Amino acid sequence: MTDTTQSKENIQKYRSVFLNSLHFEMAREDEMKFLTNQFNEIEGEIELALEFIAQHNFGDEREYVETYAVAVLPFMIFNGKLIEPKIETKKSYEEALQFLRYIKYNKGMANHHIHSITADKYTEGHPPIGFDDFKGFDMDKVDKEIQTYEFLNQIDVGREKRNWWGSSGAFMRCMCFAYSVYLAWSVPVTDSDGKPEGYKRIAEQDRIIYFLENFFEHMGYPIHNTVIKSKIYNVAKQNQFIYCNPYSVAKNHLL
């Protein structure tokens, strides 16, 4: 296999990572805007990112570093201000709560609507089977669902973010990327028996911060090293989901 062929195959592999990251962490409106207006930029940006990473030795962690680097790209190059995904989530909770309250206070009409749109697949020519023909609404369960969605509806969407990496989706990808480099350039802290002491590691911190700063600079979307250290790198190391499951997102949704 030639270097060119291998490079093309690698780009195609990470193209799916790019698209999956776009789908899972970006608001639907932004995802569609990107696919409509910037779809032809994907492969060029992936190639640029992989070429930079190839200049460094990440050992066995290289695939994960590449994966999370590519997963950051959609948010980095998005042409516009990102919608905070939590806004979309909160809207769906509000709609669900409104629907459940309608059922609670308008049970008869709610059943009528369901009766009107339910198809009778068993006896052709007869009126459709209504919801109450089976069990009807269990109002205790409806009340429990209302309580659940009233709680979920308290979600704090936060203020409008000024930086490209500030939305929750982009921030999660940046933290995962930083943590993957941290894993590559660190070693576990061990006890006297040589067993790891929890999640503690000794890292080449300056090297990690310098690499991340240069990567973002290379891609044309710089983040200052002090910001990387305090707001991304150190936060990622303290994020329980990330340090307990450093590869789960890549394994389940990206690769």
What are 169-199's pLDDT values in tens digits? 899 899 999 999 999 999 999 888 778 787 8
pLDDT tens digits for range 208-219: 999 999 999 999
- Residue 189 DSSP code: E
pLDDT on residue 133? 53
| pLDDT tens-digit readout, 220-252 | 999 999 999 999 999 999 988 888 888 776 666
Residue type at 103? I
Q: Alpha helix locations (H) across the chain?
A: 3-25, 28-37, 42-53, 62-77, 85-105, 107-117, 139-152, 168-184, 205-219, 225-227, 234-238, 240-244, 248-249
3-state secondary structure 164-178: CCCCHHHHHHHHHHH
Give the global pTM.
Answer: 0.71
Task: Report the 10 Å Cβ neighbour count for 6.
Answer: 10
Per-range mean pLDDT, top range of 82-86, 109-113, 130-134: 109-113
Of the candidates 150, 126, 146, 127, the residue with the CA atom closest to the CA atom of residue 137: 146
Instruction: Check if the beta carbon of residue 186 is closer than 8 Å to that of residue 180.
Output: no
